[in-house]
């Protein structure tokens, strides 16, 4: 895509509304799937990141069967549970896996329904999810996932071919529409509960993309992430809006509503803006460090720039 396109031209080209989510804009990324295949020569244009959008790794090994231990078997492959149960030494056999399931975990909770420029964070999350799915489809990998908002979730068991991607895209559109329609209703669907569902859905060895602003993380969520990271490879796609890092200068106080309460923001006050930026940076750094400790490889995206412009050749 040519860099001289302004935001309005890009929205038209990609069939994106910026707030409402449509199937056409997710289909747009079918032709962009090679953006992931460029890695590790692809990096994110973001000084906060310094990481690569990980390619789907080559084939690994998957469990095949258990048999009696034979001389020459690797003792690290001994199945101690079967050995203890039978009283005879057994070893696990592995074979090259035929495919690697790829899961997309997409967050449309209320904090994601925000955007100061170009796209809502939730819409950018859908774009990333679609790009991952189309890339997996082109490689012949099975694609599955969980899409959720404050009020419900949709699950997609791993399945191959374009039909699976289209089902995921429909799930994204439907769940996003529900999120917007019920934004003022009390939340009853926790991030930690959806991570627990993901733990049950993702088989060992899967590649999992978690697409979120991770603002709703709590101790229960981190516990689920740590469990998941023991048997899956986790890529965390962190999405933010520029206003969450630096408030704009304005000539008067602006009143905003958050969680049903009004707050006055003195945007004309530079010291207030600087204090906000410092606090936001500290919170961001702390969150990223804890996510990394929980086993995630992290990539940062913003909602104010087209996705393909954040994926550039090194």
| pTM recorded for the entire structure | 0.80
Banded pLDDT at 60 (limits 50, 70, 90) = low
Mean pLDDT of 297-306: 94
- Residue 307's nearest CA partner among 23, 4, 22, 25 is 25
Q: Outline where DSSP puts E strands in 140-277.
A: 143-148, 153-159, 207-212, 233-240, 254-258, 261-265
| 37 vs 7 pLDDT, higher one | 7
Give me the long-range contacts of 154-161 (CB less than 8 A, separation at least 24): 155/197, 155/201, 157/201, 158/101, 158/102, 158/103, 158/203, 158/206, 160/99, 161/137
Domains in the chain with CATH codes: 7-58+99-313 (3.40.50), 61-96 (no CATH)
Is residue 61 very low, low, confident or very high in pLDDT (cuts 50, 70, 90)? low
**Band of the pLDDT at 259, cuts 50, 70, 90?**
low
Distance CA 69, CA 96 (A): 20
pLDDT-based confidence at 56, cuts 50/70/90?
A: very low
With bands split at pLDDT 50, 70 and 90, how would you rate the model's confidence at 37?
low
Give the pLDDT of residue 59. 47
The predicted pLDDT at position 53 comes to: 46
Give residue-wise pLDDT tens across range 87-138. 999 888 765 555 679 999 999 999 999 999 999 999 999 999 999 999 999 8
Average pLDDT for the chain: 86
Distance between CA atoms of residues 213 and 194, nearest Å:
15
- Condensed to tens digits (0 to 9), the pLDDT of residues 65-86 reads 788 888 888 888 888 988 998 8
Strand pairing class (254-258; 261-265)? antiparallel
Contact 109, 149 (CB under 8 A): yes
């Amino acid at each position: 895509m040519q860099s001289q396109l302004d935001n309005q031209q890009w929205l038209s080209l990609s069939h994106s509304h910026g707030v409402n989510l449509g199937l056409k804009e997710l289909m747009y990324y079918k032709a962009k799937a090679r953006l992931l295949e460029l890695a590790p020569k692809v990096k994110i244009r973001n000084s906060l990141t310094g990481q690569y959008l990980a390619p789907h790794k080559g084939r690994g090994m998957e469990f095949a069967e258990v048999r009696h231990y034979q001389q020459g078997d690797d003792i690290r492959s001994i199945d101690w549970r079967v050995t203890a149960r039978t009283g005879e030494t057994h070893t696990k056999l592995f074979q090259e896996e035929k495919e690697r399931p790829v899961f997309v975990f997409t967050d449309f909770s209320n904090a994601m329904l925000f955007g100061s420029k170009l796209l809502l964070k939730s819409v950018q999350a859908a774009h990333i999810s679609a790009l991952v799915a189309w890339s997996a489809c082109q490689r012949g990998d099975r694609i599955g996932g969980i899409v959720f908002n404050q009020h419900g979730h949709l699950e997609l068991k791993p399945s191959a071919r374009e039909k699976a991607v289209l089902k995921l895209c429909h799930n994204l559109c439907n769940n996003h529409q529900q999120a917007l329609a019920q934004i003022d209703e009390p939340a009853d669907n926790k991030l930690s509960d959806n991570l627990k569902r993901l733990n049950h859905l993702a088989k060992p060895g899967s590649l999992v993309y978690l697409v979120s602003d991770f603002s709703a993380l709590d101790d229960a969520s981190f516990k689920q992430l740590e469990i998941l990271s023991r048997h899956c490879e986790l890529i965390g796609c962190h999405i933010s809006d520029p206003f969450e890092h630096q408030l704009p200068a304005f000539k008067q106080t602006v009143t905003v509503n958050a969680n049903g309460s009004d707050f006055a923001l003195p945007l004309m006050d530079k010291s207030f803006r600087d204090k906000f930026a410092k606090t936001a940076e500290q919170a961001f750094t702390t969150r990223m460090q804890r996510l990394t400790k929980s086993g995630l490889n992290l990539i940062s995206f913003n909602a104010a720039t087209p996705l393909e412009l954040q994926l550039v050749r090194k």
